[in-house]
Amino acid sequence: MSNDELEIEPSELDEMTHRELGLIYDDSTRTTLFTKGIQWRTVGSTLIIFIAMVGLAKFVSSAADFVRILKVAIILSSMGAIFMLVIFQFWKHAEGQKIRAVERQYSSLFRGIRMKKSRLEANIHRYLLLTFMILVLLAGAFVAITAIDKIS
């Protein structure tokens, strides 16, 4: 028997329990995709807010007090968006724990297929993306504040 051919150990679950776990698994995967989408929409919408604030400085007023308010608003928006990204990351982590709990109850074939991407590799990808999102927000805030400074 080669390394690719595993001896398949079936799940010991009854059909009803297997179905219930399948529902939990499906729900957790959908929730994970939902939170990933919200994270990217948070980044995109925050960058749009930055553009709007630069537009306010250019087309509404470049008075010192107004510019100061816009800069504070950019900083607060960045902080809020980063906070949301981290909260959604924790949510994804909780869903991942549920998926792993379900996975342990399934057959060896299911577990073997799920292990094609190691947990370490998945975590590295997950946190690289989170870091990238945060850096994009910080860069956007820096560019917006710099643009407002040049306008005023």
Candidate from 55-59, 69-73, 111-115 with smallest mean pLDDT: 111-115
Distance CA 85, CA 90 (A): 9
For residue 68, how far is the Cα from the chain centroid?
31
DSSP state of 104: T
Asked if 78 contacts 70 with a C-beta cutoff of 8 angstroms, the reply is no
Mean pLDDT, rounded, for 129-145: 98
pLDDT of residue 2: 47
pLDDT tens digit string along 3-52? 556 688 888 889 998 899 999 999 999 999 999 999 999 999 999 999 99
pLDDT of residue 114: 84
pLDDT tens digit string along 84-116? 999 999 999 999 999 999 999 998 888 888 888
Distance CA 93, CA 88 (A): 9
Neighbouring residues of 152: CB distance < 8 A, sequence distance ≥ 6 = 57, 62, 63, 64, 67
Q: What is the pTM of this model?
A: 0.85
The domain locations on the chain are 15-151
pLDDT tens digit string along 143-152? 999 999 999 8
